[in-house]
Amino acid sequence: MRKTTILILALSAAVPLHAQSKRTMTPEELSRLTLGTPEQQRKAFPPHRIIGNIYYVGTEIQAAFLITTQAGHILVNTNFEETVPILRESVEKLGFRFSDIKVILGSHAHGDHMEGDALVKELTGARVMAMEQDVPALERMRPGGKSHPIDRVLHDGDEVSLGGTTLVAHLTAGHTAGDTTWTMRAEEGGRPYSVVILGGMGVTQGQSLATAAGLTPLAQDYIRSFKFLRSIPCDVPLGSHASMYNMTEKYARLQKEPKGPNPFIDREGYLEELDARERVFNLRLDEQKKQAAKSF
C-alpha cells in the first residue's frame, strides 16, 4: 500500500466526528472535535499549500499559517512553545527559511495559539502584533518566565502589509476580549479569492452570557461577532483549529486528486462552521437565561 494511501486512511480515521454534520453536533461533540487530544495538538501534520501564497504549517489540531512574500513571510499563530520546533520544520519542509518570517500574528490570547510568540521572535527577529483587547492576557502569558513581546498593538480594521500582501484584523470578541479574525485575498488560476482565518468562536466554560438583568456585554460581543462574520465574503475558510475548516478531509482530497478542484474553496463549509458555533452559543445562552429566571 502506498504511503499516501496509508496517510489518507489514517487522517480519515483520526477524528470520526467529521462524518457528522457540525450543525447537529452537541456542544460537547463540537468541543471535542475542535480541541482534539493532547497528542493531536502536538503531532506534526504534513505542511501543504492551501491557496495562492498561503501554506499550512501547524499540527494535527493547532492551526498555523505561513503567508509568503518576496519581502519575507507572515506567520499566523505560533501555538504552544513546545511545538515551535514542529513549526520550524514544517516551514523548512516547504522550502522556505524560518528566519525569513518578518511578522507574527495570532488568533487569540490562549496558550495553544500564541504561547510560542516569544520563542519565534527570538529565532527570527519578527515583529509580534496583537489586538489591543488581548494585550493584558498576552502579557500574563510568560512561558519559562519570558515576557510576551508585542511590537505593534492592533485595532479593529487595522491592516498588516508585507511584500504586496495585506491582511485585515477584525475584532470578533467573545472567545477572548481581543479574538481576531483575519481576512485577505489570494489568487489561484488568475482568479482572486476571499480568505477568512477565523479566530475562536466557541463559548468557553464559565463565560457569563445572561443574568436576571438581561444579556451580559460578553453575550452582546458574541452576537455582534456572529453578525459581522456572516456579512463578509468568504471563499476559503480557515481557522485557529484545523477542524474548524475540516482540514484533514480536504488535505486527503488534495492528495487523492492534486489536479482536481481546490477543496479549500468552500463557502458552504464556512457557513456550516458559523451555524454550529452560533447554535452552541444560543444553547448556552438559553440555559443561562432559564437559570437567571429561576433565581430572580
pTM, whole model, 2 decimals?
A: 0.91
Dump pLDDT digits (tens) for 232-289.
999 999 999 999 999 999 999 999 999 999 999 999 999 999 999 999 999 999 999 9
Q: Are 11 and 261 in contact (CB under 8 A)?
A: no
Dump pLDDT digits (tens) for 160-169.
999 999 999 9
User: Among 9-18, 101-110, 218-227, which is the least confidently predicted range?
Assistant: 9-18
The pLDDT of residue 119: 98
Dump pLDDT digits (tens) for 12-48.
334 444 557 899 999 999 999 999 999 999 999 999 9
Q: Over 50: is that where the pLDDT of 114 sits?
A: yes
- Beta-carbon contacts of 119 under 8 Å, excluding residues fewer than 6 positions away, are 78, 81, 84, 143, 146
Judged on CB neighbours under 10 Å (0-12, 13-18, 19+), 212 is exposed
Give CA separation, 14 vs 10, 211, 238, 290, in Å.
Answer: 6, 40, 19, 37
- Beta-carbon contacts of 9 under 8 Å, excluding residues fewer than 6 positions away, are none
Closest CA to 114 of 74, 80, 65: 80
Give percent of the chain above pLDDT 70.
Answer: 93
Domains along the sequence of the chain with CATH:
26-295 (3.60.15.10)
The pLDDT of residue 19: 53
The pLDDT of residue 198: 98
Q: Are 162 and 72 in contact (CB under 8 A)?
A: yes
Q: Over 80: is that where the pLDDT of 115 sits?
A: yes
The pLDDT of residue 294: 85
